[in-house]
Chain A
Amino acid sequence: DAKTTQPPSMDCAEGRAANLPCNHSTISGNEYVYWYRQIHSQGPQYIIHGLKNNETNEMASLIITEDRKSSTLILPHATLRDTAVYYCIVRVGGGNAGNMLTFGGGTRLMVKP
């Protein structure tokens, strides 16, 4: 799986949009970009994933650059409960159950009142 690079920490004001960047310059054509977050002392929570098109769900939006070498996770209106470590992971998708996730250091997002 390709490696990803994320800033170690970010701050965001409550109610503002949180934009979390991720670089994955060595991503392969069949690799998806996945985002998870981990709130302290809990298991990781799936947020969103995409291949090349931008994606949006009830939690967040995922913007993938045209060359697929980077992406941004957007939390449109951050709340204090969004304080967590956010992981950007790339891996082969397509329903192959043997593909594990490789977690890097992630970005520690601190949402402040």
Chain B
Amino acid sequence: GAVVSQHPSRVICKSGTSVKIECRSLDFQATTMFWYRQFPKQSLMLMATSNEGSKATYEQGVEKDKFLINHASLTLSTLTVTSAHPEDSSFYICSLEHTDTQYFGPGTRLTVL
């Protein structure tokens, strides 16, 4: 399978600041990556689909100006949570598609104070 890394694994920030989360494909080039969010005791919810070299596609209810996605290369997609608030505290997980299967990163735990 594919190896996906995320950085950082855990971040704590103050309300109003911005946080950038990186998602890297370590062993192949990915034209498409996905960003999910998971609140405590809930299932994963797709936030957006990140396409290399073009604008991301956001799911209904996800603010594109708040969750900035940049897929500047075939091995890196970044999610920036702008002006973070406590309600943005969540587990953010990226994934990518390789040979009919999606592989997930280890996730980033964001806590906004």
Residues of A that sit less than 8 Å from B by CB: 32, 34, 36, 38, 41-46, 49, 87, 93-95, 97-106
Knowing that A45-B104, A46-B103 are A-B contacts, what are 8 other residue pairs whose CB atoms are under 8 Å apart, sorted by A's residue number? Answer: A34-B101, A43-B95, A43-B105, A46-B1, A46-B101, A49-B100, A49-B101, A101-B34
> Which 5 A-B residue pairings sit nearest by Cβ, starting from the closest?
A43-B104, A97-B32, A97-B97, A103-B43, A103-B44
> Would A101 and B32 be within 8 Å (CB), given that A41-B107, A106-B43 are in contact?
no
> B residues within 8 A CB of A94?
100
Residues of B that sit less than 8 Å from A by CB: 1, 4, 6, 31-32, 34, 36, 43-46, 49, 91, 93, 95, 97, 99-107, 109
> B residues within 8 A CB of A36?
104
Contact of A98 among B36, B49, B105, B106 (CB under 8 A): B49
> Would A100 and B49 be within 8 Å (CB), given that A46-B1, A105-B43, A106-B43 are in contact?
yes
